[in-house]
Structure 1
């Protein structure tokens, strides 16, 4: 409970509607209809959802803290490495900005990325990549 001050009166307000539970994350993953993988700037798999096994055949615990470059097609590795560099797509007028400047809310659009890489797949014998 949280007390709000309103015209000199104290009212109690229930904040449980704003509480986040692990169930919220599970519902997100179900709605995703895929998997989520979080990488470090060096290409290390920091986190992968357990649903990755159903899509690529890799068990979650087998790829966490491993290099993502071993999971993607050799022709896509250079592009992935370029995408993971925070300053690789800064426009010329912003090229002298430091990371702290780019992380400001008004500049965060400079970090947006949209790209495609082919992942190795253990579930399919055709080409081995999706």
Structure 2
């Protein structure tokens, strides 16, 4: 029995490792005050910052000031629409700008040179019992409220590759709209459209 339990725990560890590798982002757990009490290891791959650098610090020290008001709102329970008006909404979904020390070339820079990376944060508010037994003072500690999130970076528009169909071509222009680059498909498409238009006009002459 003990062997089975050990096998299950080992399997769970492996699965958890695979889950983190499959994530495009990282796991973040915040207290009601905004302290980061847990971050998955892959935060370093996404943001350039390590678990050690972030754990125990306030999330407000690493996020954009303009996002703080919304973040504080997300960290509090909200009552949802119900007959009694007491049902609390636990789901969370919002966007957050966080400091990133990774450059476009994959290098890491100093925190003072960090840029802002947009994260899509989704998760839930959770309430955990801190301890079942009473502490030395004779009273039980209150439950701890946390926000558990999966934070996925939103790719910069310049890094997104859009699939182009056969009738679409890519071009770049200077400020006076002169061509600075043109996809080779441009000429092919223009010739094709010219021939098609010419053929259509010739056909109309006979109708």
- Give the TM-score taking structure 2 as reference length: 0.45
Cα 1:39–1:33, aligned 2, differ >3 Å: closer, same or farther? same
- Structure 1: 5+ residue runs without aligned partners? 2-14, 103-109
Q: Which has the higher contact order (CA 8 A, sep 6+)?
A: 1
- Aligned residue pairs total 107
- Give the TM-score taking structure 1 as reference length: 0.68
Cα 1:32–1:127, aligned 2, differ >3 Å: closer, same or farther? same
**What's 1:45 paired with?**
36
**Cα RMSD (Å):** 2.9
CA distance in structure 1 between the aligned counterparts of 2:91 and 2:28, rounded to whole angstroms? 16
The runs of 4+ residues in structure 1 deviating greater than 6 Å are none
Of Structure 1 and Structure 2, which has the larger fraction of its residues in helix?
1
**What's 1:11 paired with?**
none
Cα 1:127–1:50, aligned 2, differ >3 Å: closer, same or farther? closer
CA distance in structure 1 between the aligned counterparts of 2:84 and 2:33, rounded to whole angstroms? 23
CA distance in structure 2 between the aligned counterparts of 1:93 and 1:120, rounded to whole angstroms? 42
Cα 1:86–1:57, aligned 2, differ >3 Å: closer, same or farther? same
Please tell me whether Structure 1 or Structure 2 has the larger radius of gyration of its CA atoms.
Answer: 2
Question: Deviations for 1:54-89, whole angstroms, at most 9, x for unmatched residues?
Answer: 1111111111010001111110011011101023x5
**What's 1:129 paired with?**
116
- Structure 2: 5+ residue runs without aligned partners? 105-112, 118-207
**What's 1:26 paired with?**
17
Query: Is residue 39–residue 55 contact of structure 2 (8 Å, CA) maintained in 1?
Result: yes
Cα 1:41–1:93, aligned 2, differ >3 Å: closer, same or farther? farther
CA distance in structure 1 between the aligned counterparts of 2:32 and 2:21, rounded to whole angstroms? 27
